[in-house]
Chain A
Amino acid sequence: MNVTTNMGTFQIDFGKRDRVVGIDLGTTNSLVAFMDFTGPKIIPGEDGDKLVPSVVSITPEGHVVVGNPARELLMTHPERTVYSVKRLMGRGVDDVQQELKLFPFRIAAGSESVIQLALGEKTYTPPEISAFVLRQLKKNAEAFLGEPVSKAVITVPAYFNDAQRQATKDAGRIAGLEVLRLVNEPTAASLSYGLDKRKNGIVAVYDFGGGTFDISILRLHDGIFEVLATNGDTHLGGDDIDNLLLRIALEDVASEWNVDPASDNELVQRLRRAVIHAKESLSFVPETVIELDYHGRHYARAIDRELYDRLIAPIVERTLGPCRECIRDSGVSVEQIDEVVMVGGSTRIPLVRNAVERLFLTRPHTELNPDEVVALGAAVQAGILSGEVEDKLLLDVTPLSLGIEVMGGVVAKLIHRNSTIPASATESFTTAVDGQKNVLIHVLQGERELARDCRSLARFDLKDIAPMQAGMARIEVRFLIDANGILNVTARDKRTGAEQSVDVKPSYGLSDEQVARMIQESFEKAEDDFRERQTREARVEAETILRATERGKLNDAWLDLTDDERAAIDRAVNELLVAQNSDDHHVILSKIEALNQATGKLAENMVNTAVRGALKGTKI
């Protein structure tokens, strides 16, 4: 076998490499990272914090607030604030009934195929909310790097299905980012751990985050990271522990204070903050207190590690089933697994670490900050795509089997789970009755035998088939899962070789038109934001010159001016004071210029006065 490649010399022809950032769009926190000369680095936000809470709040004035400030607004304006929106990405209303009970925000009407969240007067889809977070990360990266950023790698839970991946990609597009690749979070984490230093071996990545759980088993081979199998639960994470403790705290408060906490969103959110604080403490101390002071009332409940472990044991146990399945699917034995890597904030919990150690018979790696490894790995993957990193390559798999519905509501599997992606399958379709012009194909994802137990992805309508006898038509449909884990479908009339038109109706998610409209809106919004910034800057400038003029009036130079000159300055000052309230920065800037003109002589005189003053004190 002889493969001749010449990638190295090619890069020179493309000149300057475009900057590609790596983004971890998490349930609880999001991060952005880039490849430095020395390796991947996290980019801090304006407040210096590396973690940007994935919280979005819409103020009554319609301004979007993201991150730490939004987390504060969650306390005071819970009905205008969204968190953990990742749990709603690519899902239908029926899927999320359970979670909605604990969320303060409301679902709006018209949420059949895409959930619509009502925030104040407007409604937003989960991809739009995520786009706000992404836009903030983009802004942070641009401020830090001092250059525009338009390309990104975004990570997703390995166990995300097609709709959830598509929704994440849509969010990127709405935020003005070209999403070059979606990378699975555990796989990304393995990249950042420098595991390839050991050259060859088998590695398991246990990723227990805020809202999702993933397990992946990889084979490392001279820089190739080949995923052998993956498994997980997209609805299992630290959130579940929070909710468990929150339920207890709510019951306590209800009986001790004799109130109905369900009707008090602020109380619920403050209690949530209190239990999260207690949860985090219990990873480091043997006992703590869930505590809240609320409008003159005090709540306190002591909780020790023993009770805590007993409470969360069922949740930790739920991660072990997917682990065992993953080991079986990977075709390796537990003894063959050389290393286990811990990812996600929930892996700080001692009970979790113990459970993993017992199952994998090895002490898991916890050297790197579990909140940062995924973003760092995303930056490495960004480096691979931009050509900066040449020795590494990820070969990932599709987490769920892909199939089509056949007679009797049964699913015929076309691409099996844990197939290395890109992966494809070709299937021939024909007509059942004479003159039939359409063939409807129902595509599903999942492991169950019956269509109703699998996840409906889309319905494809093969249209405009030339009328002919039943069974004569031959439409060849190619199902291709790309490197992002997203399905692409193309169809061809085998008799004519012509491309066959396919009409796609995604079961959950946004249509292309909807995404296009949102991108348009976000551009308009971005223009608004830009104008707003220009106006603010002009106002600051006006403030500066007005203050300087006031100071000038106290100077001897003021007295040296003619009455007309002084009147002209007063007029210009008054006009600028009026213009300052304008929303049009042009108006403000023109009045600043006018005042500048009017005070020219004054400034000159002031300089001369200063020089004279200086000379006075000098002995000649």
Chain B
Amino acid sequence: MKTCWNCGRATETDQGGAPLFCPSCKSLQPPPSDYFALFGLKPRLAISPDELQKTFYELSRALHPDRFVRKPEREREYSLEASSVLNDAWRTLRNPVARGEYVLKQNGFDIGEQRSKNVPPELLEEVFELNMAIEEVRGGDEGARPQLDLARANFGNMLGDVDGQLETLFRKWDETQSRDDLAAIRALLNRRKYIQNLVSEVDALLAPAA
């Protein structure tokens, strides 16, 4: 049973879960470090951005250090802590990729950078051709440029496909909460990161000419 640091009375409600503010004396309690808990959400991957933004603004109004200037030092510290977690959580949860990685990490999956450097087998041929075109354009062969544009469009479409699949998997995991689905999400995220890196590289190459 959690109790309030200030008035000593119980803070937990019958439904469980610790509120951010003591129901009795209204003082700010030590904030949770879990992003979902802070947003008052169960861990989930399909999130409406508008809903998330609304909650972010509400919580900001309640937790920002500006609101605690005249409060006791302990509450001021909780406020600083709470709003830093809130802002970190907002940055992470509003971005589907960061959100997916956060849930993977929470569930003990390794999301190292290394994986995104290995070429996914099914993309080997396309990546090889793309790299050729990149080399040629870098070498001053403008003739390879249409090929590059084509590849850019191709990988851009792939990115869209991956995002669609991610959305489906996100909703599926919210239902099942199974590790198999998380494993599939990780594979998809790695593929996405790989493609994203390629797209960024091509964009950087095309940008000065544009």
Residues of A whose CB lies within 8 Å of any CB of B are 1-7, 10-11, 14, 17-18, 180-181, 221-222, 224, 381, 384-387, 393-395, 419-425, 480-483
Contact = CB atoms under 8 A, between A and B. Distances in A.
Contact of A422 (B57, B61, B80): B80
Contacts of A421: 84, 87
Given A181-B66, A384-B66, A3 B20 contact: yes
Interface in B18-66: 19-21, 23, 26, 39-41, 55, 57-62, 64-66
Nearest to A20: B69
Contacts of B26: 4-6, 10
Contacts of B88: 423-425
Shortest Cβ-Cβ A-B pairs, 8 listed: A422-B84, A424-B84, A420-B87, A1-B40, A6-B26, A385-B69, A5-B62, A483-B65
A17 B70 CA distance: 9
A6 B42 CA distance: 25
30 contacts: A1-B40, A1-B55, A1-B58, A3-B21, A3-B40, A3-B58, A4-B26, A6-B26, A7-B67, A17-B70, A180-B69, A181-B66, A181-B69, A222-B57, A381-B66, A385-B69, A387-B70, A393-B67, A394-B66, A395-B60, A419-B91, A420-B87, A421-B84, A421-B87, A422-B84, A423-B84, A424-B88, A481-B84, A482-B65, A483-B64
B111 interface: no
A365 B21 CA distance: 41
A83 to B, nearest CB: 33
A422 B80 CA distance: 7
A381 B88 CA distance: 24
A598 to B, nearest CB: 55
Given A420-B90, A420-B91, A5 B66 contact: no
A181 B68 CA distance: 12
Given A3-B59, A5-B62, A222-B57, A419 B69 contact: no
B87 A419 contact: yes
Contacts of B64: 393, 395, 483
Contact of A393 (B19, B60, B70): B60
B190 interface: no
A18 B70 CA distance: 9
Interface of B: 19-21, 23, 26, 39-41, 55, 57-62, 64-67, 69-70, 80, 83-85, 87-88, 90-91
B133 to A, nearest CB: 26
Contacts of B21: 3-6
B39 A1 contact: yes
B203 to A, nearest CB: 13
Given A1-B40, A4-B19, A221-B57, A385 B84 contact: no
Contacts of B61: 5, 224, 393
The prevalent SS among residues of B at the interface is helix
Contacts of B60: 224, 393, 395
B208 to A, nearest CB: 15
Nearest to A13: B70
Contacts of A395: 60, 64
Given A480-B84, A483-B66, 4 more contacts: A224-B57, A395-B64, A419-B87, A422-B84
B135 to A, nearest CB: 23
B154 to A, nearest CB: 25
A3 B55 CA distance: 9
A379 to B, nearest CB: 14
Contacts of A424: 84-85, 88
A359 B20 CA distance: 45
A176 B39 CA distance: 40
Contact of B40 (A2, A221, A224, A384): A2
Contacts of A394: 66
Name which of B19, B61, B80, B88 has the most chain A CB atoms within 10 A of its CB.
B61
Contacts of B84: 421-424, 480-481
A417 to B, nearest CB: 12
A443 to B, nearest CB: 17
Nearest to B69: A385
A6 B71 CA distance: 13
Nearest to B58: A3
